[in-house]
Amino acid sequence: MQVSREKIAREVKEEFAEAGVDIAPEKIARIVERRVLEEIKRGVQTIQYQVVTLMTTNGQAPFITVFMYLNEARNEQEKKDLAVIIEEMLKQRIEGVKNEVGVYVTPAFPKLIYVLEEDNIREDSPYWYLTELAARCTAKRMVPDYISEKIMLKNKIDKSGNGNCYTCMGCRSFLTPYIDEDGKPKYYGRFNQGVVTVNLVDIALSAAKAAGTVSPEDRLAAFWKIFDERMELCHRALQCRHERLTGTYSDAAPILWQHGALLRLKKGETIDKYLHNGYSTLSLGYAGLWECVYALIGKKLTEFEGEALGLDIMIKLNEYTAKWKKAECIDYSLYGTPLESTTYRFAKCLQERFGIIPNITDRNYITNSYHVHVTEPIDAFEKLALEAKFQALSPGGAISYVEVPNMQENIPAVLKIMQFIYEHIMYAELNTKSDYCQVCGWDGEIQIVKDEHGKLVWKCPKCGNTDQSKMNVARRTCGYIGSQYWNQGRTQEIKERVLHVSQPVRACC
């Protein structure tokens, strides 16, 4: 921004000199600031529209994240400038992006992350106005998501013993803390080698089958035995991913490896060096902790024994990634897989292998990562506090969310939740609804209903429109927003979500 400011100042001075007008420096400064702001507006708009109109080969928008972190600025002026850009980014997202019929709707990308920090978290903080704007944006457009600098600095300690605060990737994988050859923390330009996800529910049900109807102790013993075997299987699968990348020449993807998206390697150079010693990560994903624990001991993660066993399983998963990392100098990291459409596949496989078991395999989805089951009634604050314990054990990435009603008229309550996130959990988000029916103009929630064949379909509550091509539906599945519809399993999960904030909401505690 400083570069633009200086360039514009030169131009303005030249223009007035050419016109033969003598003008006071303060007036020039005002004109310059106004033009800088115009440039920012156009820049933000260009980024927004370019990202949503770019498509990958399978028709998805690129998974781009805009990370809004004031403390990333190197000096006070830069921080002020950054605040101006953040403000513009939020204002334009609140407005939305025009759909094919010219109505402003919620875009899925770029994903926005706003960092909560000492400078913006309280009413008397200098950048509180940005946090209020972020709250309004969340209530209307589901983003930004929130990172707590306070908790992240505790969770992400590098080998020099310093805490780090940085963005996750679009898929919300977090890299491990890393210090480059110059002794500086490095988070941009690094990458993830891939993910292999273990279905924890399958291990629990395999153990129950192997142990028969004997005591819970025997069932647990069988569980840990099968767990070890499955971990070795995951390890082999992850090694396959790593081996697949080994020996890749930079020429295979010049934008990534040669032109600076990730690295600036020479032609004919391999990427091998960057697959080891922490530059990139390799993710062990996991899913279905809720059903796994319930299958083993009949307890929920929200009950004391369930929580204890759930945490034990998470600790054990981390022991495996640490062991592999030590042996191979590859940064294996535990990752709460988003499981977008795979949730349906995992659930179907469980039903085929074990039949329908109440509360475990009787739905067409399984619960993401360590999350509390979507049907479990729990208060937003309790949910975030409980899940924070699990999230700290999911260093390769995970996000917690609370499902909320329309809160556009209750911004103080949104702010209360954000302040709670700052004090308790590293990374969280609020899920609200943001839909639009192109037939009748309804902009409330589009509902999920069963059609005459028992299939779940989206239906406008106002005019009854069920044509997906004539509505805009945006839902957060797990970390990022989808607007291209989901398979039957994920649709059922979205339908069954309970609210974690009652309606109407009051701001007082």
Name the site residues for Zn ion (rule: CB under 5 A).
437, 439-440, 442, 460, 462-463, 465
Smaller CB distance to Zn ion: residue 190 or 459? 459
> Closer CB to Zn ion, residue 380 or residue 437?
437
Which residues, at least 6 apart from 143, have a Cβ–Cβ distance to it below 8 Å?
93, 111, 112, 137, 429, 481
Cβ proximity of 397 and 419 under 8 Å? no
CB of 441 to Zn ion, least distance (A): 7
How far are the Cα atoms of 197, 206, 257, 408 from residue 423, in angstroms, in the given order?
A: 30, 39, 39, 23
Query: Whole-number minimum distance, CB 472 to Zn ion, in Å?
Result: 11
The answer to whether the bond into 377 is cis (omega within 30° of 0) is no
The closest of 149, 145, 134, 142 to 170, measured between CA atoms, is: 145
Shortest distance (Å) from residue 422 CB to Zn ion: 39
Least spacing, CB of residue 439 vs Zn ion, in Å = 5
Count the neighbouring beta carbons within 10 Å of the beta carbon of residue 194: 17
Q: Which is nearer to Zn ion, 248 or 466 (CB)?
A: 466
Residue 168 or residue 437: which is nearer to Zn ion going by CB?
437
Q: CA nearest 396: which of 262, 243, 282, 241?
A: 282
Tell the smallest beta-carbon distance from residue 99 to Zn ion (Å): 14
The amino acid sitting at 28 is I
Cβ neighbours of residue 9 closer than 8 Å, sequence gap 6 or more = 28, 29, 32
Token output for 488: 């039957």
Minimum CB–partner distance for residue 442 and Zn ion (Å):
4
Distance in Å, CB of 444 to Zn ion, minimum: 10
Rg (CA), the chain: 25
Nearest to 388 by CA among 146, 224, 164, 175: 146
> Toward Zn ion, which CB reaches closer, 254 or 441?
441
Nearer to Zn ion, 299 or 462 (CB): 462
Shortest distance, CB of residue 141 to Zn ion, whole angstroms? 20
**CB of residue 456 vs Zn ion: minimum separation in angstroms?**
18
* Least distance CB 446 / Zn ion (angstroms): 8
Alpha-carbon distance of 301 to 299, in angstroms, equals: 7
Least distance from C-beta 443 to Zn ion, angstroms?
Answer: 10
Which token pair is 106?
Answer: 């919620």
CA distances in angstroms from 472 to 182, 403, 448, 494, listed in the order given:
48, 19, 13, 16
Element (H, E) at 394: none
Residues 296 and 303: beta-carbon distance below 8 Å: no
Contact at 8 Å (CB) between 121 and 78?
A: no
Return the number of the residue (43 or 461) whose C-beta is nearest Zn ion: 461
Nearer to Zn ion, 392 or 439 (CB): 439
Nearer to Zn ion (CB atom), residue 345 or residue 462: 462
- End-to-end Cα distance, the chain: 41
Query: Which of 312, 336, 289, 321 is CA-nearest to residue 174?
Result: 336
Nearer to Zn ion, 440 or 448 (CB): 440
Q: Which is nearer to Zn ion, 16 or 442 (CB)?
A: 442
CB of 463 to Zn ion, least distance (A): 3
Query: What is the SS3 assignment for 263?
Result: coil
Nearer to Zn ion, 136 or 459 (CB): 459
Helix (H, G, I), strand (E, B) or coil at 480: coil
Contact present, 186 and 136 (Cβ < 8 Å) = no
Both tokens of 143, joined, read 């983003």
Q: How many CB atoms lie within 10 A of CB 313?
A: 23
